[in-house]
A and B are shown apart, each in its own frame.
Chain A
Amino acid sequence: MKRVAAILLGLAAILMAALPAAAREQLHIVGSSTVYPFSTTVAEALAKQGVLKSPVVEATGTGGGLKLFCEGVGEGTPDIAGASRKIKQSEVDACTQNGVAKITEIPIGHDGIVIANAKSGSDFSITRAQLFLALAKTVPQNGQLIPNPYRTWNQIDPSLPATRIEVLGPPPTSGTRDAFVELVMDTGCENFPEIATLEGDAKKAACQQVREDGAYIDAGENDNLIVQKLQANPSAFGIFGYSFLEQNADTLKAASVEGVAPTYEAISAKQYPVARELYIYVKDAHRTIIPGIDAFVRELLSERAMGQDGYLADKGLVPFTPQERTEIESRVLAGLGLTALSGNGGVEPQGALGTALHSVSGSTGATATAILVAVLGLSLIGFFMGRARAAVKAGGDLRRLHSLPNYHGFYVALWCGLPALLVALVWLTAQPAIVTEAAISAMPAQRVASLDESRLSLLLSEARQAAERADLSQIADPAVQAAAATYRSWNAMARLGAIGAAVALAVLGIGFAYSRINVEARSRNRVERIVLGILFACSTLAILTTVGIVLSLVFESLRFFAQVPITEFLFGLQWSPQMALRADQVGSSGAFGAIPVIAGTLLITFIAMVVAVPTGLMIAVYLSDYATSRVRSIFKPLVEILAGIPTVVYGFFAALTIGPIFRQAGDAIGLNVASESALAAGLIMGVMIIPFVSSLSDDVMNAVPQSLRDGSFALGATKSETIKQVVFPAALPGIVGAVLLAISRAIGETMIVVMAAGLAANLTANPLQAVTTVTVQIVTLLVGDQEFDSPKTLAAFALGLLLFVVTLCLNVIALNVVRRYREKYD
């Protein structure tokens, strides 16, 4: 007991020591998953040189990345965005509107978009017009636009193979998708007079809308998953960047477009028609507050990175010619007022700055640690003082005391620690806001008035950074200088104040409690009351958690239902949430009917239950009634291991091992099995759930009294008859409860379906088809770009609410079933 407490305290101390400095030191990079490998490689090179802490890079898609990038200035927003297309005017406008006035554009190289399939599939040579016919939502026929009727490639052109049209491609958040639409769909549709004569939005819609009937599958930002799925499914095509093809040249091959195969040479010579430039955008305003942006840009532009033999070329980038690169380098650096990196090596002096930043002390975290250590130390002293005082008061005869000396000690310690820590907590929580107010008031008033909110916050973070760095007199902007000086002095004061207040309160507490110790003092009762209060407070955390879940889900869902009617959400048959991110983009229509998603969830859950319930029950029966204790001791833990394996492992097993096996088996007997079939995900989920069913039913069957079994045996029943006709019915309520809990678990399971189930919301009961689930949709909608006013993001919370309500109901029903029908044997 004491040892456990000591260990916990020790661990807490280690963690407190790991508390950080406040300001952000790393670069924050977001954007296209195509540019992701290149920006991470540059980031890593910088970190290796010890120039600065390695940047945080997130792949959010070009659209999502630029959206985050343009949200404003300040530490909470990204510094750099990677884009697989040029920034759109609408995005520049959004940036300007949010106060991101100046951004620097850096072209980093070429990339081709390839249309590839597995080596085992058929060779393809295709035109953009054919691709348009295969993928558009509506196609021209006899002078009219009709919903795309093509199901196989040879229906479009007899020269193409007779395989089903199945294309895995990126979602609308992706720059690859934008570039594909622009380079293929827009060009392809020009070949048809019906569309070429259209104008404005009608033309745009006709050209850019991608079919939503399952032939084109939004495969998420994860290009590699597309590659793996193609290997598993020879008739499917994938759309992704050239670098992925290069890395997987031994298993994938690319279709020629307009007779040109996507090769390194063809892309860099701009002969391959579906090629584009990749870009990195830098927020100029952040260069003063986040160290390392300049270093990143210079490293990126240098010969060793972007050059013909640079390390980015090794990663699959098709680099610019040396002249182009030098031109870009000098142009960008001149724009930023920087000099080029010379030669192949050379660490910038910023390394010293980076380390200096590291060593800045006196942060809030350090203050909190200091207070905690001081107060705990004082409490400990108080404890011994109280105990000694009690012993003295008792005059050597401890029996005279009302409470044991230890209780007096605890009493003093509690009075010393609790108020001091509470006050310190409030103080440190309120401190940043107060200090910031002070810093604002230290700046010239008319300057503050002239700034909008994001400008002001940028200025303040600059001041905060400056306050932690060295010489304030070197700051050019007087407002920042004043604010930084305020930050420095007020923070120092506030931290000292916090420590002082806490220590003073602790000492006062000791004094007060110490003075109350005497023979009659009811210290035990007092301590016990406080302890009880703490225990109660801890137990209410469960309520707080539930309230927090309900409030956050309901609040965001209400915002969602304000935009999308709840009836459409609950009863709509179309789910296609990837709506346009920008006004000038044609995404899917943005339908939010959850029925296909719910149906998919139920299908996968049903398959999982078909696997898990009989298996789990039979395992429970065998282990509890048949197995010798030796067998039981071996197999019971073995089965339970299945429940302990992280779901991410099951996910990969299902996606990369079981899925392909099913697909091949299906091909062998002439069935068309989708590579993301509900069957594979459901089976693996069922395997995961087996132990839940088995151990819960094992418990309830064991709870059936032996006397019932004995009675059955006495009537001449065999063991299996006893189990089927006596034990099982008696345990039925418990088993029903177990199954309901397992169902709720299956519905809420996330990683397996994220990796192994599909993204397209098909309304089907065929387990060989791909379906999507509630949890998959939540993850797809929320990982990456988040925007708390788009129905797309809010839809995730509505789905979360649905998930929460359904699992809650199942759980309540399960508990009630068990309670109402439970046999009372005792």
Chain B
Amino acid sequence: MIRASADSFTGDAMPRASAAGKLRVENLGVAFQREGATLPVLDDVNLSVRDGEFVCLLGPSGCGKSTLLNAMAGFLQPTSGQVLVDGEVVRGPDPRRIFVFQERGVFPWLTVAGNIGFGLGKLSREERAKRVQHYVQMVGLQGFEKSYPHELSGGMKQRVEVARALAVNPDVLFLDEPFGALDSITRMVMRSELLRIWEAERKTILFVTHDIDEAVQLADRVVVISARPGRIQQIVDVDLQHPRDISSPRYLKLRDGILSQIGLAHRI
């Protein structure tokens, strides 16, 4: 039942469609060993993501969505199954696929420019400075190039991390609740900034969140994950054009559909 619903959306059942996938997760299972007991975290996850697609992984805390993202990025070896990018099995982290942590990943010992240029060691000095300046502008941090992270707000640090990731020109971005630590107004701003950047650069984005609104506002598809062990419960196509009207009936219908799918009533 679960497999069937996942397959019907991803088209995994048809080899032609899966071959076109940028990133594929095949029968992925992850189990942790805790005090001698085996704790299954993810069970038989199958997913295919198209090139340039924006996919949100949505689920309650502890459902294994971060674990799934870490396995896709190569930080974690799956217990069973595999992850493929461009048909190649993922065996570790790779600069072609950058993981954006919450703003915690910014290096405190480097300036904004130093952080953004971190992955550009192979370029010449001028080339690097040009690239850094381009992404400083893209995330709107002009004038802060020489600032250290502790002088920046949470939202600005998050911009630094996104810029650092984009600067190495990756195919895929993994974002693990990137705006979770920000206040709600900054979060809204960062969402539209991210969409603007995504529309300009067309990276494949996998975005973990526990915020239903965030998922429906951002994603082409929302992958709803159930808890313990984490399984794909449903994949929802968000057939809304950007910029999205978040009070339109279609938006609300999609959001409410996911709400009830997760088992939450519409009232508090």
Q: Do A and B bind each other?
A: no
A residues adjacent to B (C-beta < 8 A): none
B residues adjacent to A (C-beta < 8 A): none
